[in-house]
Amino acid sequence: MTTLVVCIDRAGDLVAGTDPPMVGRDAVESLVVDVGVEDPEDSQVNCLLEALRVSRDLSEAGDETVVAVLAGTDDTIGADRAIARQVEELIDDHDPDSAVVVVDSAEDERLVPIVESRLTVDAVDRVVVRQARDIESTYYLLKQFLADEELRKTVLVPIGVALIAYPVLWWAVSPGVATGAIVAVVGLFFLYKGLGIDTYLASLPGQVQEALYSGQVALVTYVVAAGLSLVGVFDGAIGVSDLGSGTPLILASRFAFDAIPWLTGAALAASTGRLLDELIRRESVRSAYLNLPFGAVAVGLVVRGFSAYFLELADVFEPYRVQPIDVGPIAFEGATLEPPGTRLALFILAGVLVSLAGVRFAAYFSGTTVEQEFAHGREGGD
């Protein structure tokens, strides 16, 4: 088995004044002495010595080796074609079975595919001078980083925008506002990428298109839920503006009290649409989907009860009074729910009852579905 050990010099500095390739151990050793005496700090000396070492090790292992130096020119295309011509010449003269390529730079390593296209390459030996290993490794990492288009867009573009926006904000507003704005935007970008929002937004059009083509009910109910949510936020904002001033807890309680009925309706619409889609698709549904609408209503009742409790404690609301009822022989004069915890207890009790009703409803229908499927299976077996 003959192995070709080649050292690539794309710029052609090693063999200046001679006709490449230089073949044979004696020729390469002579070249090492000439280059080393001329410039002892040249890393290509180490590349030549590494080629000699690899050739020696393979010879000791029983392989027949041919060590050679391939050299190009200053011209990019001419250098590549010269290397290709020299590889073909070595193949014609020595008929090697495989090759080991020794390089000392990323520029020389770009020529490895030329050798691979004409001969099997068993290994690529990249020589790094020990004193400069960290610098060389950093260079290769940066080179790979800059070659990745996705990483460039993800990292370099936001950093560039931040570096441009910072002095503009510094000049237009103040250093504190500039620093805070840049930090906030960078934080939002990290959350955007970390939570996978970009992936979700990229897949959203396809999901909407699939939902439209398949006629999913959830698509309509999601639109309804979004509209109800906007109404709830708007209603809550109006309630806060009517309140005027107050502590953050009171303002948040007023917003929740006014918005929660609409938000509950939005959750109810979305969960109902999902439930109907499951029923249409599978003709049966898991208990978790059956319990979703009940859970939405229960949470809405509890949140509204707590917000009303805080507002009543702050004297924003009067104690709740049950209106009189007169139905035939039955007459109810009305009552005032005092203390404020009475209303909260009733809302919590209503939420618990609705939740229990949902659990019972889901358990009943899930049990019915299981029994029907079991009976259907037995009929098929009979």
pLDDT for the residue numbered 373: 43
105 lies in the same domain as 226: no
58 lies in the same domain as 169: no
Among residues 126, 146, 167, the one where a domain terminates is 126
pLDDT for the residue numbered 74: 64
Q: Residue 18 and residue 34: Cα distance in Å, rounded?
A: 13
Q: Position 22: which residue type?
A: M
Closest among 336, 344, 265 to 307, alpha carbons compared:
344
184 lies in the same domain as 78: no
Q: Residue 196 and residue 265: Cα distance in Å, rounded?
A: 28
Q: Are 80 and 72 in contact (CB under 8 A)?
A: yes
Q: What is the pLDDT along the chain (382 residues), one digit of tens a residue?
A: 788 888 888 777 766 667 778 888 888 888 888 888 887 767 778 888 888 998 898 888 888 888 888 887 765 677 788 888 888 888 888 888 888 988 877 777 888 888 888 888 888 888 766 555 555 566 666 766 666 677 777 777 778 888 888 888 888 877 777 788 888 888 887 777 777 776 767 776 666 666 555 556 677 788 888 888 899 889 888 888 877 776 788 888 888 888 888 888 888 888 887 777 777 666 555 666 677 788 888 888 888 888 888 888 887 777 666 666 666 666 655 556 666 677 788 888 888 898 888 878 777 766 544 444 444 444 444 4
280 lies in the same domain as 219: yes
Residue at 376 is within a domain: no
Residue at 179 is within a domain: yes
pLDDT for the residue numbered 375: 47
- Structural domain count, the chain: 3
For 100, phi then psi, to 5°, come to -125, 120
204 lies in the same domain as 351: yes
Helices 175-194 and 157-172: angle between axes, nearest 10 degrees: 160
233 lies in the same domain as 159: no
Closest among 19, 20, 50, 56 to 32, alpha carbons compared:
50
Residue at 76 is within a domain: yes
Cα dihedral 242/244/248/250 (nearest 10): -60
203 lies in the same domain as 189: no
Residue at 379 is within a domain: no
What is the domain extent for residue 88? Answer: 2-126
156 lies in the same domain as 22: no
Return the structure tokens found at 268.
């109810």
102 lies in the same domain as 18: yes
Q: Residue 144 and residue 139: Cα distance in Å, rounded?
A: 9
Residue at 68 is within a domain: yes
Closest among 199, 335, 333, 315 to 246, alpha carbons compared:
315
Residue at 374 is within a domain: no
Among residues 74, 105, 126, the one where a domain terminates is 126
pLDDT for the residue numbered 294: 83
Q: Residue 162 and residue 187: Cα distance in Å, rounded?
A: 12
83 lies in the same domain as 158: no
108 lies in the same domain as 30: yes
- pTM over cut 0.85: no
Closest among 110, 103, 101, 104 to 136, alpha carbons compared:
104
Number of H helices, E strands in the chain: 14, 9
Residue at 380 is within a domain: no
Q: Position 200: which residue type?
A: Y
Supply the DSSP symbol for 156.
I
Q: Residue 71 and residue 86: Cα distance in Å, rounded?
A: 8
Closest among 310, 331, 334 to 323, alpha carbons compared:
334
Among residues 108, 126, 144, the one where a domain terminates is 126
Residue at 230 is within a domain: yes
342 lies in the same domain as 224: yes
Q: For the purposes of burial, counting CB atoms within 10 Å of the CB of 336, is it exposed (0-12), middle (13-18) or buried (19 or more)?
A: exposed
